[in-house]
């Protein structure tokens, strides 16, 4: 009876650790996404600031275009770059998700194998205990 209890405890612990690993992975993924969002926002703001600086420098030396036109052009250029960066980031995330799906299937296979090995060891222990009890 105590052997079954040990097996149940191992199964419970394995299940608890798998759940904890999944929660940690999800937390890490969320933190990474938030980090990338902040970095992208920072980059977009830096590009706008750079464009405004260039705009004011050009407007003081160039009298052909109005300040408003220059500002609009620089904003369009900055938005275009920002959109391109977002597309690239989305493509990277798609690739990353595909890789995670592939890796999770590998991890699940490893976890299943470890579970099978653990069960096999438990069966061997049970057989040894039964053998020793018969003696």
Predicted local confidence at residue 133, as pLDDT:
67
pTM of the entire structure? Answer: 0.43
Predicted local confidence at residue 34, as pLDDT:
84
**Among 11, 25, 34, 33, which Cα is nearest to 112's?**
11
Above 70 in pLDDT, residue 109? yes
Q: Report how far Cα 91 is from the mean position of its chain's Cα atoms.
A: 14
Backbone φ and ψ for 29, nearest 5 degrees, come out as: -65, -40
Q: How far apart are CA 10 and CA 118, in angstroms?
A: 8
The residue whose two tokens read 């699940």 is 108
The model's pLDDT over 36-50, given as tens digits with 9 standing for 90+, comes to 888 888 888 888 777
Cβ-contact 129, 3 below 8 angstroms: yes
């Amino acid at each position: 009876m105590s052997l079954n209890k040990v097996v149940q405890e191992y199964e419970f612990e394995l299940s608890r650790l798998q759940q904890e690993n999944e929660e940690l992975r999800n937390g890490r993924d969320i933190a990474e996404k938030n980090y990338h969002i902040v970095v992208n926002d920072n980059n977009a703001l830096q590009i706008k600031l750079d464009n405004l600086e260039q705009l004011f420098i050009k407007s003081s030396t160039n009298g052909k275009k109005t300040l408003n036109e220059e500002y609009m052009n620089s904003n369009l250029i900055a938005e275009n770059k920002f959109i391109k960066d977002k597309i690239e980031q989305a493509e990277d995330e798609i690739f990353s998700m595909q890789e995670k799906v592939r890796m999770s299937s590998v991890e699940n296979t490893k976890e299943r194998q470890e579970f099978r090995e653990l069960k096999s060891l438990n069966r061997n222990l049970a057989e040894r205990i039964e053998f020793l009890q018969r003696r």
